């Protein structure tokens, strides 16, 4: 959590332009959100248990209890850091892998590798990168 706050502070202190808006969550909320976003079917039991114990997802500030979530993960035998903090292999099946948005897994892998090398991808309106989204269109380039 210390590293997270260091990075939040670093970004906030260096964003001086008025047209940039920077919003962030506290580390506890972000951890739970990461687990929920990356979790598999095993995370269903803690979600149901938290709900039965009064937790709600509609408004974090009103209903959020980090301790309730962490106690529930423990009682359900779930390590939240397994979902939130580990590096994933490029061939791992992710929760959102079942949703076809037109972009190919190969494209996501190329973009991941490029990001780790610190390379920026060009705007697709300037150069098509072959992401696969064009199959959702009626043909032609994505920006036509």
**Three-state SS string across 83-129, please?**
HHCCCCCCCCCCHHHHCCCCCCHHHHHHHHHHHHCCCCCCCCCCCCC
Mean pLDDT of 92-111: 82
Q: What percent of the chain has pLDDT over 90?
A: 33
Tokens 């920077």 label which residue? 22
**Burial, 83: exposed, middle or buried (Cβ in 10 Å; 0-12, 13-18, 19+)?**
buried
Most confident of 12-26, 50-64, 77-91: 77-91
| pLDDT tens-digit series, residues 23-38 | 777 888 889 999 998 9
In b/e form, how buried is each residue of 45-82, taking b as 16+ CB within 10 angstroms?
ebbebbeeeebeeeeeeeebeeebbbebbeebebebee
Measure the CA–CA gap between 30 and 23, rounded to whole angstroms: 12
Determine the average pLDDT of the residues in 82-108: 84
For residue 66, what are its two tokens?
């980090």
pLDDT value of position 22: 77
């Amino acid at each position: 959590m210390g590293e997270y706050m260091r990075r939040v502070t670093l970004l906030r202190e260096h964003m001086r332009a008025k047209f940039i808006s920077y919003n962030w969550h506290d580390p506890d909320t972000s951890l739970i959100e990461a687990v929920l976003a990356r979790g598999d079917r095993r995370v269903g039991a803690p979600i149901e248990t938290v709900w039965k114990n009064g937790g709600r997802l509609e408004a974090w500030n009103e209903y959020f209890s980090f301790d309730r979530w962490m106690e529930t993960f423990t009682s359900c035998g779930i390590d939240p850091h397994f979902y939130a903090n580990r590096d994933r292999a490029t061939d791992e099946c992710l929760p959102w892998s079942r949703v076809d948005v037109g972009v190919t897994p190969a494209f996501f892998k190329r973009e991941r590798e490029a990001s780790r090398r610190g390379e920026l991808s060009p705007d697709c309106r300037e150069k098509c990168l072959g992401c696969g989204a064009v199959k959702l269109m009626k043909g032609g380039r994505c920006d036509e």
